[in-house]
A and B are shown apart, each in its own frame.
Chain A
């Protein structure tokens, strides 16, 4: 693994981490405001997190 590749992998992980954090933050706030919608929010959160994860992994493989 060369240095640019390592930096690229690090950037991907930073980006994915920020993205997952924002998804989690949004879901937490949503559930806190409307606990009765918790199940629906959780499903949507998992779907979006999975999509983000897919992109992050695809990028990691490209590196």
Chain B
């Protein structure tokens, strides 16, 4: 038993070491051992990319990975490989229009690829509509496929035997936990209708969070557009399943003075939007913060470059990695729990007759 523990700690250490190595080599242009270098490194890690790089050689400017397809809509559809940009060194010409890649974004330029910058350092060039399969989109597809295989296979085994096999043995208690402790407890008797959504969103966020801890660092749930989309789904589900009581609480709050009712209308309407907004910000900020902390601690190693700071910060980042695994589960749980809570507020039945007993909350 004790040996097993030592083995787990060693494995986790190896994992952090791999992340540290991929951290040091992900950077493509020049040294990382300055504050600016680390800043740029972290920004680069948090950003989406048109390349899936496993690691890169900064001194020689070589990248080991593969380019992802680029899909642009700009006077027609243009599909080509990101390899044509050669990590921003080349200008690509399609239908008489030149495109340049600058900091993972595509801009319209002239034949030389000139970019014009405003005073804050952002390019002012026009952007085409970019529907590319970027790194984040690629990982989302990967997770979707993974979930389809894992849960599809699991569903099949239930037809033959009451117990799932292999990995399903680990997942079954988690699914039962989502059903009993989240859906049934929060929503009540109508929970079955929302199980598919809650399970999907739980495992989707969980898998993305855990994949984000891999050395190649795909920071998908730390991208606000993805958490926005997830929160939007929750928003629509809550609004469309809202019953009479729910809308009555929004537009004509019961059991209070009419003047208070009118004051409460704008507050309640605002409340409809702040709930999913908070969901979006919470998941995004938590995952981003976790990644920034780990990357900063690893960055301190390359800044100090001595034998005392190295192991110390390595230990800190190992500790943060373990905390982040807990956070990965916790954030998936909280997103699902709060979604269930908002749904329950929309489908809850208020029994007639008990209204007089309720104490009005002003």
B88 → chain A closest CB, angstroms? 28
The digit string for B334-361, where 1 denotes a CB below 8 A from any CB of A, is 1001100100000000000000000000
Q: Which residues of A contact B281 (CB under 8 A)?
A: 54, 57-58, 61
Which of chain A's residues have a CB closer than 8 A to the CB of B337? 43, 46-47, 50
Q: Which of B277, B286, B334 contacts A46 (CB 8 A)?
A: B334
A43-B181, A55-B278, A58-B278 known; A50-B285 Cβ under 8 A: no
Contact of A50 among B181, B185, B277, B334 (CB under 8 A): B334
Cα A18 to Cα B330 with chains together (Å): 21
Which A residues touch B334, using CB under 8 A? 46, 50
Residue contact B185 to A57, C-beta cutoff 8 Å: no
Does B282 count as interface, using CB distance less than 8 angstroms? yes
Number of interface residues of A (CB under 8 A): 12
- The answer to whether A57 touches B181 (Cβ under 8 A) is no
**Of the residues B277, B330, B341, contact of A47 by C-beta under 8 Å:** B341
Assembly CA distance A55 to B278 (angstroms): 7
- Main SS of chain A's interface residues? helix
Tell me the dominant secondary structure on chain B's binding face. helix
Using known A-B contacts A43-B181, A43-B185, A51-B278, determine if residue A57 contacts B338 with beta carbons closer than 8 Å. Answer: no
| Residues 58-106 of B contacting A (Cβ, < 8 Å) | none
Cβ of A60 < 8 Å from any Cβ of B? yes
A15 to chain B, nearest CB (A): 16
Chain B residues closer than 8 Å to A43, beta-carbon distance: 181, 185, 337
B185 and A54 contacting across the interface, CB-CB below 8 Å: no
Which of B277, B281, B333 neighbours the largest number of chain A CB atoms within 10 Å of its CB?
Answer: B281
Is A57 in contact with B282, judged by CB distance below 8 angstroms? yes
In the complex, the answer to whether B338 meets A60 with C-beta atoms within 8 Å is no
A54 to B285, CA, bound (A): 9
Q: Which of A41-59 contact B (CB under 8 A)?
A: 43, 46-47, 50-51, 53-55, 57-58
**Are A54 and B181 also in contact (CB < 8 A) when A47-B337, A47-B341, A60-B285 are?**
no
CA of A46 to CA of B285, assembled, Å: 17
Known: A46-B334, A47-B337, A57-B286. 19 other contacts (CB 8 A): A43-B185, A43-B337, A46-B330, A46-B337, A50-B282, A50-B334, A51-B278, A53-B286, A54-B278, A54-B279, A54-B281, A54-B282, A57-B282, A57-B285, A58-B277, A58-B278, A58-B281, A60-B285, A61-B285
Using a CB–CB cutoff of 8 Å, the interface residues on chain A facing chain B are 43, 46-47, 50-51, 53-55, 57-58, 60-61
